[in-house]
Structure 1
Amino acid sequence: MSATFVIVRHGDTFAPGEPPRRIGARTDLPLVESGRAQAAALGAAFARRGWRFDRILAAPLRRASDTAAAIRAALPDAPAPEPTAFLAEIDHGPDEDRAEPEVVARVGAAALGAWDARGEPPPGWQVDPAARRAAWRALYARERGETLLITSNGAARFALLAEPALAQGLATLKLRTGAFGVIRATPAGLARLAWDERP
């Protein structure tokens, strides 16, 4: 029996022209107008594909719940989202709510590159990669049917890192805002069907 996991990064939390900052577990921002449009576009795209979700799991942050609500508006039979702790954004430690040039100045471009390519957190960031990978592996092993997961860029990368083959061929583990990935679990193993796609 197979299972499908559609992994969504929440929509924009910064308006066009607003300098982005490192926003993690301690900063609970709502979606801005463009983020709400991204989430609505995801819902419309999923409806066009005829996707029906047995479960919706969402990070316990407003940007995730806002995204889930907009997607569900296009999927009238979708279940209510379940707040899910392992999908929570990471804690950026001293870099929380800092502009990107400040973060680069503190940790260096190489450290951020290692985070995006291999999921190795920069110094001072609060994240347990082993626990994150284990949570995704447990999810893949137990779930059946179709599951929609709504999370953040920092957390989503561990969906790939749970099984090394899932990240093969990708230059970066990142998901853009309003983008999604698809992972399929079958008795033969796990396969990445899509990553960082936007409607």
Structure 2
Amino acid sequence: MARLIIVRHGNTFDPGDTPTRVGARTDLPLSTSGEQQAAALAAHFRDTHLVAAFCSPLLRTRQTARAILAGRAGAPALRILPFLTEIDYGPDENQTEDAVIARIGAAAIDAWDADATPPPGWHVDPTALRAAWADLLARAANLDSDANVLVVTSNGIARFLPDVVNELPAGLERKLKTGAWGSVAIDANGARILDWNVRP
């Protein structure tokens, strides 16, 4: 079976920093702890043969992907897939979580976490993102059965992948933590998520 390895980029804030909602309009690099998470991912997948690697244009995803690919014999070229770019949080971009909840309410955040319903003011097209994930899965279905593909993205994008697979683990939570990964197996029976929210 072919496999997609879905990775969320590492941290962009360190302990002691005030985290904010960082979206498509904010191109932050990995923080020190984010670089450590990327190194842990690289160590975890060191012996996994990759036939392709994709990430978003954002620096934090490129840095995470390059860390995983670095020093790897026969590493594939890193390619940019624009749909993997984080969503635009609109008026909540770069706002603290308390400020976001004060504007839209906790129920809107709960709906986003539960079923990826975008809160008012956020710029995201769920239909387009689901279609893009479905297209990537369809292309992966044509790969050799032992092929592994690396995909590095952000939380706002990864959460739409579970909507287009044939099988999910029980109790799966959409949110993919920073520095965490999941895997999707693709074979003649369709696509199924094998792992989700795993940190090395």
TM range (shorter): over 0.9
* Alignment RMSD (CA, Å): 1.3
**TM superposition score normalised by structure 1:** 0.94
Q: Does 1:3 pair with 2:2?
A: yes
Shift of 1:165: 3.7
Counterpart secondary structure, 1:184: strand
Distance 1:103 1:132 in 2: 23
| Unaligned segments of structure 1, at least 5 residues | none
Q: Hey, what does 1:108 align to over in structure 2?
A: 105
Structure 2: which 5+ runs fail to align?
A: none
Please name the residue that 2:190 is paired with.
189
Distance 2:13 2:121 in 1: 24
Percentage identity across aligned positions?
51
Do the aligned partners of 1:43 and 1:74 also contact (CA within 8 Å) in 2?
Answer: no
Q: Which has the higher helix share?
A: 1
Structure-to-structure mapping, 1:47-62, within 5 angstroms: 47=46, 50-62=47-59
Please state whether the residue corresponding to 1:112 is helix, strand or coil: helix
Name the amino acid aligned to 1:142. R
Partners in 1 of 2:92 and 2:193 — Cα distance?
A: 31
Counterpart check, 1:29 vs 2:31: no
Is it true that 1:38 corresponds to 2:37 in the alignment?
yes
Distance 1:86 1:179, change over 3 A: same
Shift in Å, 1:158:
1.2
Paired residues in the alignment total 195
For residue 54 of structure 1, report the CA deviation from its aligned partner. Answer: 0.7
* Structural mapping, 1:118-197, within 5 Å: 118-143=115-140, 144=143, 145-163=147-165, 165-166=167-168, 168-170=170-172, 172-197=173-198
* CA deviations over 1:41-90 (Å, ceiling 9, x no partner): 1010011xx31111100011000011111111253322121011110100
SS of the residue corresponding to residue 26 of structure 2 reads: coil
2:160 aligns to what SS in structure 1? helix
CA contact (8 A) 1:44 1:74 kept: no
